[in-house]
Structure 1
Amino acid sequence: MLPSVLIMLTDIAIWFLPLSLDLPVDRVSAKLTLLLAFSVYMLILSDSLPPSSTKCIPLLAQHFLCCLMFLTTSLMESVFIVYYSSWNPYPWTLLFLTNFLNRSAMRMTFMRNGIF
């Protein structure tokens, strides 16, 4: 139980790492390493625990499932943050998006008024 708590505290501490422009992958690689460490810990622990029945899930398994979901969600959020912090759109993409959104807004207006 203590290793899972330490892994979760380390995952929370990784959020305070600076998002540097020269190496933006550091945060993601650290979280991926934590996810791998937690998976290995779960494999080691599953060999030492007795098998349970199929009708009930033990409390320890529920704890590990919640921790795994938290780590995975945290990793996806970090990937999203790193990707959009370094995203620099080209001018033609912005022009295309504004034209597309403008046309779709006009269509919606025409559809509501019964013109189109």
Structure 2
Amino acid sequence: MVKNSLAFEAETFRKIQPQEYLRRFIQGHIRPDGRSLSQFRPTTVNQSCITTTNGSSMVRIGNTTVVCGIKAEVATPKFNTPLEGYLVPNIDLSPICSPKFKPGPPGELAQVLSENLNNLLK
């Protein structure tokens, strides 16, 4: 019973004082999951995982998964830059990402992230 009580107290402390919770781990040179500060989470990379794209990959780092698909097509260049191509980045936040994302047209967050990525690539 004491072990469950301590786990509950640690979880409560993490939620109430997240910075102090992490600071104590950093001072002890350890992460909350028991890894040292220099240890990475297990990582895997799978390529060509989406058959409807020209290129794709899925990266898993611990319990986090990121999927990226790239489609390419030939298009007429913009009139003012006839010798340059262009990129149209699109970020899709599907319900697989989180229950807070709904199917359908891109939400505000997806649009803002796509615009920010586009600005970074310019």
Looking at both structures, which has the greater relative contact order when contacts are Cα pairs under 8 Å and sequence separation is at least 6?
A: 1
Q: Give the alignment's TM-score, normalised by structure 1.
A: 0.20
Q: Give the alignment's TM-score, normalised by structure 2.
A: 0.19
When Rg is computed on C-alpha atoms for both structures, the one with the higher figure is 1
Q: Which one has the bigger strand percentage?
A: 2
